[in-house]
Chain A
Amino acid sequence: MSEPFVALLTARYGVAEGWKLAAAEGAGAYQVARQALTSRQPAELKAEVKKANIRGRGGAGFPAGVKWGFVNPQEGEQVYLVVNADESEPGTFKDRSIMDLDPHRLIEGAIISCFAIGAHVAYIYVRGELAFSAARLEQAIAEARQAGYLGERPFGIEHPIDIYVHSGAGAYICGEETGLLNSLEGRRGEPRLKPPFPAVKGAFGMPTIVNNVETIASIPGIIEMGGDAWAALSRLPGDGGARIYGVSGHVKNPGLFEAPVGITMRELIYEYAGGMLGDRPLKAVIPGGSSTPVLDPQRKVDAPNEDHPLHKWHGQSEIDVPMGVDTYRALGTMLGTCCAIVMDDTVNMVDDCRNLMRFYKHESCGQCTPCREGTGWLADVLDNLCAGRGKPADVDLLVDIANNMMGNTICAFADGTAMPMLGMVQKFRDEFMAAAIRGLPEGVRHDESVRSIVKGSA
Chain B
Amino acid sequence: MAFALTPEREQQVDDILTRYPERRAALLPVLWLCQRQNGWISPEVVQYVAERLGLSTATVKGVVTFYTMFFDEPVGENIIWVCRTLSCDLRGGKAIQEHLENRLGCTAGHTSSDGKFTLLKAECLAACGQAPMVQINDRYYENLDVDLLDRIIDAHASKGCEAAASEFSSFATFGTPRGSSSAGGVTSTPPAPSAEAVRLASQPPPASPVDTTGEKS
Contacts and interface: CB of A to CB of B under 8 A. Distances in A.
A185 B179 contact: no
B206 to A, nearest CB: 9
Interface in A1-48: 4-7, 10-17, 19-20, 27
A190 B67 CA distance: 11
Interface stretch (B70-78, B144-152, B154-162): B70-78
A187 B63 contact: yes
B4 interface: no
A147 to B, nearest CB: 14
Contacts of A190: 66
Given A96-B126, A449-B108, A166 B28 contact: yes
A334 B88 CA distance: 22
Contacts of B31: 169
Nearest to A254: B129
A250 interface: yes
A363 B67 CA distance: 10
A185 B22 contact: yes
B128 A248 contact: yes
Q: Interface residues of B toward A: which range?
A: 35 or more
A11 B184 CA distance: 5
A388 interface: no
B65 A455 contact: yes
A393 interface: no
Contact of B66 (A6, A171, A347, A362): A171
Contacts of A435: none
A189 B66 contact: yes
B129 A7 contact: no
Contact of A13 (B22, B72, B89, B186): B186
A181 to B, nearest CB: 10
A101 B210 contact: no
A169 B68 contact: yes
Listed residue (A91, A255, A362, A365) with the most chain B CB atoms within 10 angstroms of its CB: A255
B25 A455 contact: no
A382 interface: no
B57 interface: no
B5 interface: no
Interface string B172-191: 11111111110111110001
B86 A170 contact: no
Interface in B167-217: 169, 171-181, 183-187, 191, 194, 196-197, 200-201, 204-205, 207-210, 212
Contacts of B91: 248-250
Contacts of A169: 28, 31-32, 67-70
A167 B180 contact: no
B67 A5 contact: no
Contacts of A246: 128-129
B135 interface: yes
Interface stretch (A133-141, A217-225, A401-409): A133-141
B181 to A, nearest CB: 5
A172 interface: yes
Contacts of B209: 165-167
B131 interface: yes
Interface string A105-124: 00000000000000000000
Given A89-B124, A341-B90, A449-B121, A253 B67 contact: no
Contacts of B212: 131-132, 134-135
Interface string B80-104: 0100111101110010000000000
Contact of A134 (B108, B128, B196, B210): B210
Nearest to A272: B178
Contacts, number: 298
A142 interface: yes
B45 interface: no
Contacts of A249: 86-87, 90-91, 128, 131
Contacts of A446: 84, 94
Nearest to A101: B172
Interface of B is mostly: loop
A93 B94 CA distance: 20
Contacts of B13: none
Given A7-B177, A14-B187, A142-B207, A166 B29 contact: yes
A168 interface: yes
A150 interface: no
Contact of B185 (A14, A17, A133, A257): A14
Contacts of A307: none
Contact of B184 (A7, A92, A186): A7
Interface string B12-43: 00000001111011111101100000000000
A343 B91 CA distance: 10
Given A169-B28, A185-B24, A204-B22, A132 B140 contact: yes
Contacts of A167: 28-29, 32, 209-210
Contacts of B197: 19
Nearest to B137: A131
Given A7-B177, A246-B129, A341-B87, A258 B186 contact: yes
A93 B85 contact: no
8 contacts: A93-B130, A93-B172, A101-B174, A134-B210, A185-B24, A250-B91, A454-B72, A454-B118
The 9 closest A-B pairs by CB, nearest first: A7-B184, A453-B109, A255-B175, A186-B27, A170-B68, A169-B67, A248-B128, A170-B69, A97-B172
Given A14-B184, A132-B212, 6 more contacts: A14-B191, A169-B32, A170-B70, A249-B87, A254-B130, A255-B130
Interface of B: 19-22, 24-29, 31-32, 53, 62-63, 65-73, 75, 81, 84-87, 89-91, 94, 107-109, 118, 120-131, 135, 138-140, 169, 171-181, 183-187, 191, 194, 196-197, 200-201, 204-205, 207-210, 212
Interface of A: 4-7, 10-17, 19-20, 27, 78, 87-93, 95-97, 99-101, 127-136, 138-139, 142, 162, 164-172, 183-190, 204, 246-250, 253-259, 271-273, 286, 290, 339, 341, 343, 347, 352, 355-356, 359, 362-363, 365, 446-447, 449-456, 458
